[in-house]
Amino acid sequence: MTYFGWLDYVFMGIYVLILVGMGFVLKRVASKSLDNYIVGGRHIPWWALGVSGMANFLDLTGTAVIVSFLFLLGPQGLYIEFRGGAVLILVFMMLWAGKWHRRSGCLTGAEWNIFRFGDGWGGRFAQQMAVFATVIGTIGMLAYLIVGAGSFLSMFLPFPPMQCAMVLLILASLYTMISGFYGVVVTDMFQMAIIMVAVVYVSVKAFMTAGDASELSAIALQVTGNPDWISGLPKWNAYMPKGYEAYKHLVLFMSFYLLRSIFAGIGSGAAPQYFGARNDRECGLLSFLWTWLMMFRWPLMIGVAVLGLYLVNNLLPDSQGLAQSAELIHAQYPEVSKPEWGALLSGLSNSPEKYSAELIEGLKAALGAEQWTQKMQLLSFEGTVNPEKILPAVLLMGVAKGMRGIMVIALIAASLSTFGGTVNLATGMIVNDFYKKWLRPKASTRELIYASWASVILLVVGGFLFAATLDNINDIWAWLLMSLGAAMLVPSFLRLYWWRFNGSGAAIGTMVGLSFALVQRAVFPDLNELYQFAFAMGVGLVGSVGGTLLTKPTDPEVLKNFYMKTRPFGVWGHLKRTLPEEEQHRMTQEHVYDLVSVPFALLWQTCLFLAPMLFLIHNWTGFAWSLGLFFVGWAGLHFFWYRKLPAENFYEE
């Protein structure tokens, strides 16, 4: 079946030509130096960096995951994504973590370890472990993108998910390799314009489609079984279908995820956007814009969820057909696993003649002969509606040809932006902190660029190999955040707030935390998210503190240089006391205002995302409350943070 018209193909062709063309145009600028290739030469405007950051976080796979929770829970799905999708770490990157990293003058987060711990054994060990951790995290992130993009595209194209993802990543790899960070930023700006078209279209269509709150609530109850779908307040016991029962205690998970995001946020900031920023003020401004732009993601996603409710309600008024279809497929293919499920459904939908006539007739009888292939694309492994398929299903059956092509391009653009930012960060570390540091210190710029190209290829191959083992996108997203991410939290935190923490502690803490996360994934892949987080973080804490106390402290001169440039708060009293009283007072003021701004910033950002969703679903009471709280948070943030921003830097370089 052809899901695209000639206009869709024209739009897609123009998009690909522009994307590849920009890569070749920017190649000359990006190749002038390693600084240009990794951080854009530190002269890209703050607003462009903010746009790039937003595009990096607006990925296709993450969008599909969040849409699935919004489909199941309504606006309350936002609270599940306190674990990462709500990007609460932006608060801390905006207030202090971003500017602290910029002050180092480093190119990458791995190089920053030399600045913090010195160019001795401990610092170099920490630097290489940071490279290794970034490579592992990038491979995991690429696998996550591959599974999501493949699942999405296989609903439109007559190919298995892995083949669809392969074509997409070859295109992304090409322009990322050629143009470096310049290409990431410029293409992000181009792709954000396309994404905004999708946001407006879906938001308006969903707002006009949805009836009043009572009608929408009744449809949501019929489709999902959730009686509180339109509410913006988190419930202690939320209704969750089969396969998602672990999230039933929503308030408990929300609180836990909030603490996790706070802890992750205060150790964050080692991103190319901050290393490439021109001054302290621009670190704050780019983060502020970044957060505002992330707001547009939420009406897009709740809009898709609303359209998904109406689509499923019309297409599958009786869910028994899905359960019967799953039984038929499992009976015919008893050995099929979750990772193989998507490819099997794609084959049954696009090439039914290759399968048993008895099975095909049984599926038609269970689902109805009309649109049975489209209905089957919504089938989960458990025999229910697969919420992770709502996004492509809405585009497939709820958007007209012509606009469908633009929507698909917008979501592909989101995926490519995330790919570009993720891979650029990892290749920068591999080339600057491993290849150049240890293998070829005198390598020419051309050689270093070629080395970055090779690293892109290796990362993508690793991502595909890992993706072949995954059940679904929520599975890998949870592991990335709650196990692998938790393993890195303690060393990321201690390096900024405890003077005694040294390079050995950072390296050992990272090594044992990563080892646990990888073993857990291999041996206990179904471990509860809370246990993943607790065990990974506990192992990282023991390794970090133990490694620190068993080895000698950082050279006092290195420590003093770090402190005088970075000016962090935390356990740094003996160094702070060496400053004149006037300077101490100035630092204390900066730190107090940064910390006091935190609750206001968290309230502002949460309501910034929540209010548009409540407006779109016609929950006027909830919208009024969230808008009022939004202005309270914004006022506090303006008074305690924005008015205190310096013209350029808080301290003279």
Residue 181 scores a pLDDT above 70: no
Task: Look at residue 396 and tell me if it is in a domain.
Answer: no
Both 523 and 609 in one domain: the answer is: yes
Task: Look at residue 392 and tell me if it is in a domain.
Answer: no
Q: How many whole angstroms separate alpha carbon 88 and alpha carbon 603?
A: 10
Residue 32 scores a pLDDT above 60: no
Band (113; pLDDT cuts 50, 70, 90): very high
Residue 484 scores a pLDDT above 70: yes
What is the pLDDT at residue 580?
92
Alpha carbons within 13 angstroms on the beta-carbon side of residue 222 total 17
Assigned token pair, 84: 């990462």
495 neighbors 116 (Cβ within 8 angstroms): yes
Q: How many whole angstroms separate alpha carbon 255 and alpha carbon 234?
A: 10
Both 210 and 341 in one domain: the answer is: no
Both 513 and 482 in one domain: the answer is: yes
Both 279 and 372 in one domain: the answer is: no
Both 282 and 323 in one domain: the answer is: no
Let me know if 356 is exposed, middle or buried by CB neighbors in 10 A (0-12, 13-18, 19+).
exposed
Both 475 and 368 in one domain: the answer is: no
Both 307 and 158 in one domain: the answer is: yes
What is the pLDDT at residue 253?
85
251-278 burial: b if 16+ Cβ within 10 Å, else e: eebbebbbebbbbbbbbbbbbbbbbbbb
Instruction: Quickly tell me which residue has 């746009």 as its tokens.
Output: 51
Both 369 and 408 in one domain: the answer is: no
What is the pLDDT at residue 103?
94
Mean pLDDT comparison of 353-362, 378-387, 401-410, 570-579, highest-scoring range: 570-579
Q: Return the higher-pLDDT residue of 117 and 160.
A: 117
Both 297 and 340 in one domain: the answer is: no
pLDDT digits (tens, 9 = 90+) for 124-173: 999 999 999 989 988 988 888 888 778 777 777 777 778 888 877 777 77
Band (71; pLDDT cuts 50, 70, 90): very high
Q: How many whole angstroms separate alpha carbon 75 and alpha carbon 83?
A: 15
Both 58 and 109 in one domain: the answer is: yes
Indicate the average pLDDT of the chain: 85
Give me the CATH number covering residue 577.
1.20.1730.10
Q: Return the higher-pLDDT residue of 367 and 509.
A: 509
* R_g of the chain, CA atoms, integer Å: 25
What is the pLDDT at residue 26?
60
Q: How many whole angstroms separate alpha carbon 8 and alpha carbon 17?
A: 14
Residue 334 scores a pLDDT above 90: no
pLDDT digits (tens, 9 = 90+) for 81-92: 998 889 999 999
3-class secondary structure, 160: coil
Q: Output the pTM of the full model.
A: 0.85
Percent of the chain with pLDDT over 70: 92
What is the pLDDT at residue 1?
47
Q: Return the higher-pLDDT residue of 162 and 118.
A: 118
CA 618 to chain centroid:
28
Which of 433-437, 512-516, 597-601 has the least mean pLDDT?
433-437
Both 294 and 268 in one domain: the answer is: yes
What does the pLDDT average to over 61-79?
90
Residue 556 scores a pLDDT above 70: yes
Three-class secondary structure assignment of 21-90: HHHHHHHHHHCCCHHHHHHHHHCCCHHHHHHHHHHHHCCHHHHHHHHHHHHHHHHHHHHHHHHCCCCCHH
Assigned token pair, 81: 């994504």
pLDDT digits (tens, 9 = 90+) for 396-449: 888 877 778 778 877 777 777 677 777 877 888 888 888 888 888 888 878 887
pLDDT digits (tens, 9 = 90+) for 297-319: 999 999 999 999 999 888 877 76
Task: Look at residue 274 and tell me if it is in a domain.
Answer: yes
Q: How many whole angstroms separate alpha carbon 394 and alpha carbon 305?
A: 9
Residue 602 scores a pLDDT above 90: yes
Domain that holds residue 444: 6-312+402-644
Q: Give the bridge partners for 498, in sequence order.
A: 571
What is the pLDDT at residue 304?
94
Let me know if 348 is exposed, middle or buried by CB neighbors in 10 A (0-12, 13-18, 19+).
buried
What is the pLDDT at residue 289?
95
Q: Return the higher-pLDDT residue of 547 and 653.
A: 547
Q: How many whole angstroms separate alpha carbon 410 and alpha carbon 390?
A: 16
Instruction: Quickly tell me which residue has 């193989």 as its tokens.
Output: 340
Both 181 and 324 in one domain: the answer is: no
DSSP 325: H
What is the pLDDT at residue 40?
54
Number of domains within the chain: 2
Band (109; pLDDT cuts 50, 70, 90): confident
What is the pLDDT at residue 423?
80
108 Cβ contact partners less than 8 Å away, ≥ 6 residues apart? 38, 270, 272, 275, 425, 428, 429, 432, 433
272 neighbors 55 (Cβ within 8 angstroms): no
Residue 604 scores a pLDDT above 50: yes
Which of 129-143, 199-213, 237-251 has the least mean pLDDT?
237-251
Q: Which of 384, 410, 431 is the last residue of a domain?
A: 384
